[in-house]
Structure 1
Amino acid sequence: MVLPALAAALLFAWACWCYGASPPVATAPAVAVGGAVLVGACAAYSVLVGGSGGLFGALFLALGLLLTVTAADQAASRGSTATCVVGEVHTKVEHSAGEGSPGPKKVYRLVLRCPGGYPAELKEDRPVAAAGEEVRVAYDPRRRVAPAVEGGASPWAAAVCAVLLLALCTVIASAKRDRSGK
């Protein structure tokens, strides 16, 4: 089945274009088109495969496509860097709901003092610097993607996980097809 690979390629191309377009693409149309591709691909997969294989395969497809967008975000150009001083560090604990959900997650929001005033803040899931310390921040001067710690986020982990999930949903579709004789 070619649907997972085609949907991933289309969504990756769309996300890369949205993150790199000049002028920047507005958030609402970017999310609407990306969401339509994701929902459409999952619905088509579910109908084509059918049964429980279609349900679980569509779930793996959705996760793989979301990781594809994550890889595009992490690969997006953050062509400028700045050495910024951390003014304040705010931590927030986010709780998940439901039985068997992951434990609480701590989010760190660093208020920055950077040359030129941008970026003004940085959000991370790990502590990167304390108040008064310096941190190197990579950012896009046109502000199309969120700033990140220089050298911090590699797109490879998200890309590998996306490929594995997309391969899994392809295997599910192939196995279902072999059993049904189509």
Structure 2
Amino acid sequence: MPATDRVTGGLAVAALPAFAAAALYAWTAWCFGSPAAPPDAVAVVGGAVLLLGACSGYFALVGGSGGFFGALLLSLGLLLTVTAADQAASRPAVADCAVREVETKAEHSAGEGSPPTRTVYRLLLDCPDGYPAELKEGRAVAGKGDTVRVAFDPRRRISPEVAGRTTPWTAGLWALALLALSATIAWLKRGPSGRNHD
């Protein structure tokens, strides 16, 4: 294969993670924010098709162990892209809600070297209009009898959160790092110095 074709092919495969992330972010943002967004089931299926299609295409184009690990990194990067889109989505309504009860649940990870046990806090709320009725957080943001300020989407497409607390930057930066690793693997396997040129 000519060197120019190798470079072009390598660039095309290496660019796949960026194109997939842009498409999935646009789809997720549209589903969360547009008045003409599709029903929830269609939104989930559409997102799943984009994610699985991108990972399958990446694995088929790159191949071998590099294709497997690159597709795994790509899938994690795309999931974090969805998380960033969720955290960036508009929650235009705000309410001061009384915390009726706080429930905790420990989420254990199995296996050696797995992440430590994580505690999820479920706050049962009394809000002025009855919604939201609950809030889930990864840390204790309020106790029973306290008042918490909650930002939410009146159309109920996005989960509520503590007002002013969540930003998309952490998820977005992790997504960029994983997508860059996936693109690097694709370039090393398919670029001008890689082996998989046929």
Tell me which interval the TM-score lies in, with the shorter structure as reference length.
over 0.9
Structure 2 residue 32 is the aligned partner of structure 1 residue 35: no
Distance 2:109 2:39 in 1: 30
> 1:3-18 alignment to 2 at 5 Å?
3-18=16-31
**1:78, 1:58 → 2: CA distance?**
32
Deviation at 1:85, TM superposition (A): 1.1
Q: Which residue number corresponds to residue 50 of structure 1?
A: 63
1:91 aligns with 2:104: yes
Gaps of 5+ in 2: 1-13
What code does the residue aligned with 2:42 have?
P
In the TM superposition, residue 156 of structure 1 has moved relative to its aligned partner by 0.6
Q: Which moved more, 1:21-30 or 1:122-131?
A: 21-30
How big is the shift at 1:59? Answer: 0.4
Per-residue deviation at 1:32? 1.0
- Residue 26, structure 1, aligned to residue 39, structure 2: yes
Q: How much does 1:24 deviate?
A: 5.1
2:124 is the counterpart of 1:111: yes
Quick one: distance in 1 between partners of 2:16 and 2:37?
29
Partner of 2:181 in structure 1?
Answer: 168
Letter in 2 for 1:96: S
Tell me the CA shift for residue 47 of structure 1. 1.0
For the pair 1:179 / 2:194, whether they are aligned, the reply is yes
TM-score, length-normalised on structure 2?
A: 0.87
| C-alpha separation in 1, matches of 2:37 and 2:53 | 25
Q: 1:96 Cα deviation (Å)?
A: 2.4
Residue 99 of structure 1 and its aligned partner are, at CA, apart by 4.2
TM-score normalised over the length of structure 1: 0.94
Mapped partners of 2:110, 2:86: distance in 1? 27
- Confirm whether residue 63 of structure 1 aligns to residue 63 of structure 2: no
Residue from 122, 133, 149 that aligns with 1:136: 149
How many pairs were matched up?
182
Q: Which runs of 4+ in 1 moved over 4 A?
A: none
Match of 1:75 in 2: 88
Determine which of 152, 165, 170 is the counterpart of 2:165.
152
Q: d(CA) in 2 for partners of 1:117 and 1:84? A: 9
> Structure 1 vs Structure 2: percent identity of aligned residues?
59
Across the aligned residues of Structure 1 and Structure 2, the Cα RMSD in angstroms comes to 1.4
Give the distance between the partners of 2:196 and 2:41, measured in 1 at CA: 43
Segment of structure 1 superposing worse, 86-95 or 6-15: 86-95
Conserved? CA contact 1:24–1:144, under 8 Å: no
The amino acid of 1:86's aligned partner reads V
The 1:36–1:137 alpha-carbon spacing in structure 2 relative to 1, beyond 3 Å, is: same
AA paired with 2:158? V
**Secondary structure in 1 aligned to 2:67?**
helix
Which is bigger in relative contact order (C-alpha 8 A, separation at least 6)? Answer: 2
